[in-house]
Each structure stands twice: as structure tokens, then as C-alpha cells.
Structure 1
Amino acid sequence: MSGVLALVREDLRDFAGYASARRAQLIGNVWLNANESPWSSPADSGLSLNRYPEPQPPALRARLAELYGVAEDRLMITRGSDEGIDLLVRAFCRAGRDGVLIAPPSFGMYAVCARVQGALLFEVPLRDGDRAWSLDVAAMLVLLAQQPVKLVFLCSPANPTGQALSIAEIRELATAMRGRAVLVIDEAYGEFSSVDSASSLLDEFDNLVVLRTLSKAYALAGARVGSVIAAPALIAVLRNIAAPYPVPAPSAALALAALAPEAVAIAGKRLRTSLVERDRVAAAIRSMPGLIRCYDSVGNYLLVRFSDADAIFARLLAAGVVVRDMRANPALADALRISIGSPEENDALINALGAEAMGKVA
């Protein structure tokens, strides 16, 4: 066996998974095959919630594939990006034998899923620059040559550090890992970045996986709708080990509505506002006394180091402004991550910080 399937756990390559009542896609008028209630709930708003949903709703899968510019057989809908991360670790890593490589500081779920699976965890820390963080590609390639790494998780734009990977960096890593490991590029914040999506390289590398979500730019964090984009053979493996019904019917309906042309246009306008606001907030923060560093970011957040992060965090909380405390991370012991809100919310942040207002979005 060659290609990406050769990297999948041997015991899962031909695993058929659970044959749910909806997976067979049978056609009928009287449904007596799933032990469901024949009656709709009084709370049902017309979604037929007494019936199990499609495991992969066809209309939503087609719309997501169109949105991301990939073939439908390359895409699997998941419960946010988190489920995709978990499924990938389970598919490739044998407990105590296979490893996951990350580049901290990074999104915490990569390490969490590795630990739950009993996978080995390897780290190549990001390099901390004057204005931005960067990936140490050379050190990552050295470690890959020495350790039993099966999965590499990289976030682009990176959470919480804010930088994006170039297509050249992704190609270099995917080339070096071909036949040995799978490169996963988490593009949860991809809509905020001008860097091309790694999905443009899928035809070139079957060991490349891209994660996307509707939680951020499309304002559906509560609906939990994400996507794994990968080689069709790998998508088939992941579907076989996933829960039988990963996409609730209300979430699928909300996602389709959020991806209608008029809704996409609104999301695009709001995204552009977020980018302008991000630069305004960064400029205001950089005017503050006690600032150590406000990093450049291509996401909808800023990572900021303060000389007294404890006092800043307390001051913001007293004003009712909640930001992400990053100080439990040894590399970020003086840092807070600040999401970009609406112009009004950002004004409240700036006022609470005592920073200089730098103008408002019209």
C-alpha cells in the first residue's frame, strides 16, 4: 500500500465503521428502520427532528466544497475543527508509538487530542521576533527525521501568535514529509488572511490536510460546523471512524442559510470591518505605557505582552471586558490575547486600557 493510506493505523485502513440507519441512503415514505419517534416534537420548527439527520448533508457538503474550491469527495463535515483534529489523531496515531508534532505557542486542542489518544507529543517552538513569530522549518525537518511523527499540526493564521504560513513553507514541509507523515494546516482564521489557502496544494500532496470552520468569519461558533479537506481515500477513513450523525439538522440548516449569497456578502463586509478595526486597536495599544510588544497579526485577534499583565487583565475585567489570559503558557507569561470585536466593543477595550483612541470606523 502506498500514499497517505499507508500512514493510517493498519487496523483502521479497512475498518467499515458503524452502519447507521441513514448511511445506506435508502429512499422510502414510511420510515421504520431506526427506532425513531413517528411524531415530531412540539418544539420542532419544521426540521423533522424526530428523524436522524444525514451523516453528511448533501446540500451543505456541496456548498462547502464550492466555498473552499475543492471537489466534494475531498470534504467531510465535522463538529467544528475540534472533531477533525481528534479524528486525525485517532486515525494515524497508535498509543505510545506514533507522535504528533506541534509548534508552540499554538492552539491547545492539538496537544489535548494527542494526550487523550496516548500519542507521543513533540514540539518545535516558534521563533519570537520583534513584531511577528515565525516557524523554524529547519528544526522541524530535523526532528521529523529523528522521531516517529505521524501528524504535524500547524495553524495558519496561527492562534494565538497571529502569523500565517506561506505556500512555499507548506510545500517544503509537505515534500519532506511525503510517505512519512501528514501535514495538517488549520485554517480556522483563513478568511482574515491574504495568504492563499493550503488547499491549492491538495492535488500535489496526498499527505496534506486542511481544516476549515464556519465559527469565525461566518459567525456560527454555536452551530459547530467545520470541514476536513483531504484526499478522498483519507476522507473515507475518517468517515468510518466518526460518530454516526456528526451534523445536527439545525446546524446544517443554519450553515446553509449563512452561506446564501446575501449572507456571504454580509460576512464579507463584517470581515473587512474587522481588519480595519484590528489595525486601529493595534495602533491604540502601541501607544500605551507599559506595553512590551503588540505582535502583527493576520487573524481577528492580537497577542500583546505587558510589563504588568496581571494589572491589565484585572483592569479590563473591572470594566466588563473579557480577554484571553495566556499567562499559563511559559512562553507567554506576560501576554494576553485580545479578540477584535465590533467598533463599539473595541472602543470599550481601548477606554478600559487607557490607550489613545485612534479614530473610529464610519
Structure 2
Amino acid sequence: MSVLDLARAEIRAMQPYSSARMEASGGAIMLNANESAWAPPGDDGLGCNRYPDPQPQALLDALATLYGVRSNQVLVGRGSDEAIDLLVRAFCRAGQDAIAIQPPTFGMYAVSARIQGAAVVEVPLSPSFTLDVDALLAALRPAVKLVFVCTPNNPTGQQVTQAEIVRLAQALSGRALLVVDEAYIEFSDAASVAGLINRYDNLAVLRTLSKAWALAGARIGSLLANEEVIALLRRIMPPYPLPRPCVDLALEALSERGQAIARGHVEVVRQERQRMRAALAVLPGVRQVLPSQANFLAVRFDDAAAAYQGLLGAGIVVRDVRRYPQLGDALRITIGTPEENDRVLTALQDVFA
């Protein structure tokens, strides 16, 4: 059985849109896409009067090298959100199919499913926010075509082991596509599971340049998967997803110099995460600091509303996650610079003094 048998038959059969840039490029005189012949003010040689390459080969090659896969196993788009949306649209028929998630987790999985008219099967994380593989597998029904697993999980920060991912991939073979979201993996002690996609054709991995690579504003995310899955999603992807300036920023970030800078910042975050967890844990008003392998800490408070307002009054914005299951007393605090983190500690001391 091919993993594409899980996808919507009408998507597999459709004739994709063929953009002008996909059909031809590189000529001396480009008159096939109804573009302006003149570059805009401030273009500085970028050529933004021309449509960009839908999947720039230089960026695909750089990402493939970074993630340890082949370039034809990479789909790059506007953040991980676009890949999530494409997966749901390609594999889930409205009113018939479903996805499975483990709340509390990243909200866009469910949002994308509901926009598509797909059901959402929820299998809550354990009270300690670990994944219960047995419970997840027991809850699945034939309608579930996509199983999303976020590791490290957002907003709780816990890690799912590679052994658990392997067990899920094996159990879901021929039944569903397992989508592992590794948006925060660079901050973790664990290795990526991207190397497993050659063993399991029903495994896909989400990666992003928004976090460790400091490119949240450029919106560059990747899906790593079986070549057939990548080719299918390219058929339904909008024709020009990647702005030229964003591609240039990504290539600079992935250069030797850029990677050295990113590694240095990641190490600072990891050190500060450890320091902040210890410092927050002894503050009055703090009930618990959840262990985290990401660039944030989920913190339980005696009065989370007061903590949130106190931080806001000090000019510090954190994420209020009280609406998430099992987190009714919690805030999520991103690890900032050492100076920013000190201000968080001072502000919370003032709130609960």
C-alpha cells in the first residue's frame, strides 16, 4: 500500500495549476508572466518585479543538508502553518475524515482541520503532560488520516521519545500519516526523527526557521516527508509561496556564519532556561514550573491572572495559556535575553511580595 492511498482521491487525480515560473524561467527577456519590466524602488537587485521560484533549489538544498534528508524530501513554505494546512486539505475529506491531537498542544492542527470540515479526535496528554501511546492508538478510528505529535510540545515543553515515535509510525502504517512537529527541537537534548522518514513512508516531520533561527518574521517552514507526499502537496500549494527577500534571509541564516550565530543563541537559551526554571520555582506565588525542552517555560501560579497583569504592567508580555486543558493556572514564558529574564523575575517578585 502506498502512503498516497491515504490521501483524497480527487487531490491525487486533479490537474495542478501550472504557473509561468514553473513552466519556464531564466530567459534573457521574460514576457510570460505579465510582470512589470521595471524593478521597484529600493529593490537593490533582488528582482522583486519578477515572481519568485516556487521552491528555490538553493534553499531546498540548504535545508536538506541541515536536516539530513534529500532535497526532494523537503517542501518549504510560509511557516509550519502552511504545511499543516496543506496536509489536512490533501488527506482529509470534509465531513468524513479526521485528525488526532493530544491536548494541550499547538492550536493550528485543530484550526486547520475545522476549516477543512474534518473532525478532531482529542486524546489528552497525561496529568504529567506525557504522551500515552496506548491511549492514542486505542482512540483512533478509520476516519483518522493524520496524527499530529508535537515534540517538544507547545505549550508544555515535554519531549516525546524516538522509541514512541517509531512505535506510532509502525502502528499507523497503512492507516494514517504521523506528523511530528519539531518546531522547538533545536533547544532539546533529543535528536530529530527526520532520519526515520526513509524507513517509514507514513512519517512526516515539521521544521521551522521561526524559532532557533530567528526568522519568525520571514515565515519559512518545512515539511520533511516521503517524496510522494512532497510531490502531492506541491500540486495544491499556492504558486508563489516564498517572497524573494525571505529566501535571501533564510540562505544567510543557513550560511556557515549564520549557523554559528544561531548555535550561540540556542546555547544561551538553554542555559537561561535552566536558570529561570530554578529561579521561578522558589518565587512566592509560583506553584510549579513544568520541565521543558523548548525555548519557553510553562509556569503554574496561585493567581495566574495577577501574575499576567503584573508582568503586563511592567511592560512584559507573556502567553496566557489558561484556556488550554489542564493549564487553567498557567502562563507560558518565552526565554529571552538574560536581561529580559531578570526583569521577569523582578516583576513577579513585586507582584507576589
TM over 0.5: yes
**What residue number does 1:150 align with?**
145
**What residue number does 1:358 align with?**
none
**What residue number does 2:132 align with?**
136
Shift of 1:147: 4.6
Residue 152 of structure 2 contacts residue 188 of structure 2 at CA under 8 Å; is this kept in 1? yes
Match for 1:317 among 308, 312, 321? Answer: 312
Runs of 4+ more than 4 Å apart: none
Q: Distance in 1 between matches of 2:272 and 2:290?
A: 15
Map of 1:49-198 to 2, 5 A cutoff? 49-129=48-128, 133-144=129-140, 146-198=141-193
**1:280-307 deviations in Å (ceiling 9; x for gaps):** 1111110112222110000000011111
Shift of 1:241: 0.3
Q: Distance in 1 between matches of 2:14 and 2:221?
A: 24
Corresponding position: 1:206 with 2:198: no
RMSD: 1.0
Q: Distance in 1 between matches of 2:270 and 2:24?
A: 43
Q: Distance in 1 between matches of 2:167 and 2:29?
A: 54
**What residue number does 2:283 align with?**
288
Corresponding position: 1:277 with 2:276: no
Map of 1:218-237 to 2, 5 A cutoff? 218-237=213-232
Q: Name the SS of the counterpart of 1:303 in structure 2.
A: strand
Structure 2 gaps, min length 5: none
Match for 2:344 among 349, 352, 355? Answer: 349
Corresponding position: 1:31 with 2:45: no
Residue identity opposite 1:177 in structure 2: L
Shift of 1:5: 0.6
Shift of 1:26: 3.7
Corresponding position: 1:257 with 2:252: yes
Residue 103 of structure 2 contacts residue 325 of structure 2 at CA under 8 Å; is this kept in 1? no
**1:46-83 deviations in Å (ceiling 9; x for gaps):** 10000000000111110010010100110011100000
Q: Distance in 2 between matches of 1:196 and 1:25?
A: 40
Residue identity opposite 2:86 in structure 1: L
Residue identity opposite 1:182 in structure 2: L
**How many aligned residue pairs are there?**
350
Q: Distance in 2 between matches of 1:12 and 1:50?
A: 32
Residue identity opposite 1:234 in structure 2: V
Shift of 1:203: 1.1
Residue 284 of structure 2 contacts residue 349 of structure 2 at CA under 8 Å; is this kept in 1? no
Q: Distance in 1 between matches of 2:343 and 2:174?
A: 51
The worse-fitting range, judged by mean Cα deviation, of 117-126 and 282-291 is: 282-291
Q: Distance in 2 between matches of 1:258 and 1:26?
A: 26
**What residue number does 1:329 align with?**
324
Change (3 A) 1:197 1:25: farther
Q: Distance in 2 between matches of 1:201 and 1:257?
A: 28
Residue 287 of structure 2 contacts residue 302 of structure 2 at CA under 8 Å; is this kept in 1? yes
Q: Distance in 1 between matches of 2:53 and 2:26?
A: 13
Q: Distance in 2 between matches of 1:324 and 1:197?
A: 26
Q: Name the SS of the counterpart of 1:354 in structure 2.
A: helix
Q: Distance in 2 between matches of 1:200 and 1:128?
A: 30
Q: Distance in 2 between matches of 1:329 and 1:177?
A: 27
**What residue number does 1:359 align with?**
none
**1:132-163 deviations in Å (ceiling 9; x for gaps):** x200110111112x351000111111000101
Q: Distance in 2 between matches of 1:336 and 1:113?
A: 24
Residue identity opposite 2:124 in structure 1: P
TM-score normalised to structure 1 length: 0.95
